[in-house]
C-alpha cells in the first residue's frame, strides 16, 4: 500500500464524515458512485485523491452544499477550473438550467425492500436489498413529484391486474365454425 498523502488526509476525513453522518456504509456509497469499496476506503484514508468526476458524484450524493463543496474541491487541488455549479460568482439565473445528467444504464436492479419518503419536493423511493442479518443496502433511489407518483401507481396497479388476471386471447372463428 502506498503512503498516505498529507494533502488529501483532510479531504478524506471530510468525505468519511459526510458518509458516516448520512449513516451509509462503504458498500452503499461506493455502489452509488460506481467505484469499488477499496478505492473509496483509500480516498477516505488519504491514500488516493478522487478524480474530479468521482468528487462531484460524492458531493452530489451527500448533498454537500456550496461552501463545503467548494472547500472540498480546493482541498483536492485540481488544476482544472471549478465546475460551474461550484463557482460562487456565477449568476445562474441567466444560464441554461440543468435538471440532472445521468448516463443511461439499462441494467435491471432487483430489490426486496422499499422505503417511501415524502417531502415538499415530492416522493423519494429507496429500494433496498437484504445483505445479511438485519442489514439492508440501498441499491437505488428515485425521486419524483406527487403527480408522477400517482401516474406510477396507476401503471403498477394496471400491471398487477394484468399479471393476476391475464386476458384470454380472443380468436376470430374460422369460416367453417361461423357457418355451423
pLDDT of 41 reads: 94
Q: Which residue has the cell 423511493?
A: 125
Produce one character per residue of 73-110: b if its CB has 16 or more CB atoms within 10 Å, e if not. bebbeeeeeeeeebeeeeeeeeeeeeeeeeeeeeeeee
pLDDT of residue 64: 86
pLDDT digits (tens, 9 = 90+) for 114-142: 888 887 778 888 888 887 777 778 888 88
Three cell numbers, residue 116: 417511501
Domain boundaries, the chain: 6-86, 113-164
Which ranges of the chain have pLDDT less than 70?
1-2, 80-106, 168-171, 173-180
Q: Per residue in 161-170, pLDDT tens?
A: 888 887 766 6
pTM (global) more than 0.95: no
SS3 at position 49: coil
Provide the CATH number for the domain formed by 6-86 in this structure. Answer: 1.10.260.40
Amino acid at each position: 500500500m502506498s503512503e498516505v498523502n498529507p494533502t488529501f488526509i483532510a479531504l478524506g476525513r471530510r468525505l468519511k464524515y459526510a458518509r458516516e453522518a448520512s449513516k451509509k456504509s462503504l458498500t452503499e456509497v461506493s455502489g452509488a458512485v460506481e467505484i469499488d469499496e477499496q478505492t473509496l476506503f483509500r480516498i477516505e484514508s488519504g491514500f488516493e485523491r478522487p478524480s474530479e468526476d468521482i468528487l462531484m458524484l460524492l458531493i452530489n450524493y451527500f448533498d454537500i452544499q456550496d461552501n463545503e463543496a467548494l472547500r472540498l474541491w480546493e482541498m483536492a487541488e485540481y488544476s482544472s477550473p471549478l465546475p460551474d455549479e461550484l463557482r460562487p460568482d456565477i449568476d445562474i439565473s441567466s444560464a441554461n438550467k440543468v435538471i440532472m445528467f445521468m448516463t443511461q444504464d439499462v441494467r435491471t436492479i432487483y430489490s426486496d425492500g422499499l422505503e417511501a419518503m415524502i417531502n415538499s419536493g415530492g416522493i423519494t423511493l429507496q429500494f433496498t436489498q437484504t445483505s445479511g442479518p438485519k442489514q439492508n443496502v440501498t441499491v437505488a433511489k428515485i425521486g419524483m413529484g406527487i403527480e408522477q407518483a400517482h401516474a406510477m401507481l396507476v401503471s403498477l396497479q394496471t400491471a398487477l391486474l394484468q399479471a393476476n388476471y391475464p386476458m384470454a386471447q380472443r380468436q376470430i372463428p374460422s369460416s367453417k365454425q361461423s357457418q355451423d
